[in-house]
Amino acid sequence: MDVIIRPDAAAAAELTARLIADALRARPDLVLGLATGRTMAPVYDRLAAWHRSEGLDFSRCRTFNLDEYIGLPAGHPQSFRHTMETQLFRRVNLRPEHAHLPDGSAEDLRGAARDYEAEVARAGGIDLQLLGIGSTGHIGFNEPLSALRSRTREKALAPATRRQNAAAFGGDPDQVPSRAITMGVGTILEARRIVLLATGEAKAEILARAVEGPITAMISATALQLHPACTVIADEAAAARLTGQEHYRWQFEHEPEWAPYREESR
Ligand code: F6R
As to burial, measured by CB atoms within 10 angstroms (0-12 exposed, 13-18 middle, 19+ buried), residue 170 is exposed
Count Cβ atoms below 10 Å from residue 68 Cβ, excluding itself: 25
Task: Find the 190 Cα to ligand 1 centroid distance in Å.
Answer: 19
> Per-residue pLDDT averaged across 207-219, rounded?
98
pLDDT level of residue 99 (50, 70, 90 thresholds): very high
Q: What is the DSSP code (8-state) at residue 89?
A: G
Handedness of CA 63, 66, 72, 77 (dihedral sign): negative
Q: How far is CA 135 from CA 12, 198, 213, 225, in A?
A: 19, 11, 15, 18
Over residues 17-43, the mean pLDDT reads 98
Report the mean per-residue pLDDT for the chain. 97
The yes-or-no verdict on residue 245 having pLDDT over 90 is: yes
Q: Are strands 31-34 and 128-131 parallel, antiparallel or unpaired?
A: parallel
Q: Whose CA is nearest to atom 2 of ligand 1?
A: 140
So what's the pLDDT on residue 264? 61
List the end-to-end C-alpha distance of the chain, in Å, as a whole number.
22
Q: How far apart (Å, rounded) are the C-alpha atoms in residues 193 and 178?
A: 30
Q: What is the rounded CA–CA span in Å between residue 165 and residue 170?
A: 10
Closest C-alpha to ligand 1, atom 3: 140
pLDDT in tens, 153-175: 999 999 999 999 999 999 999 99
- CB-based contacts of 60, cutoff 8 Å, min separation 6: 28, 29, 30
Span from the CA of 135 to the centroid of ligand 1 (angstroms): 9
pLDDT tens across 77-86, in order?
999 999 999 9
Burial class (CB in 10 A: 0-12, 13-18, 19+), 200: middle
Taking the CA of residue 165 as reference, the ligand 1 atom at the shortest distance is: 15
What pLDDT digit, counting tens, does each position of 118-148 carry?
999 999 999 999 999 999 999 999 999 999 9
Please tell me whether residue 92 adopts helix, strand or coil conformation: coil
Q: Which atom of ligand 1 is nearest to the CA of 37?
A: 15
pTM of the model: 0.98
Strands 67-69 and 179-182: antiparallel
Given this model, what pLDDT does residue 74 score? Answer: 77
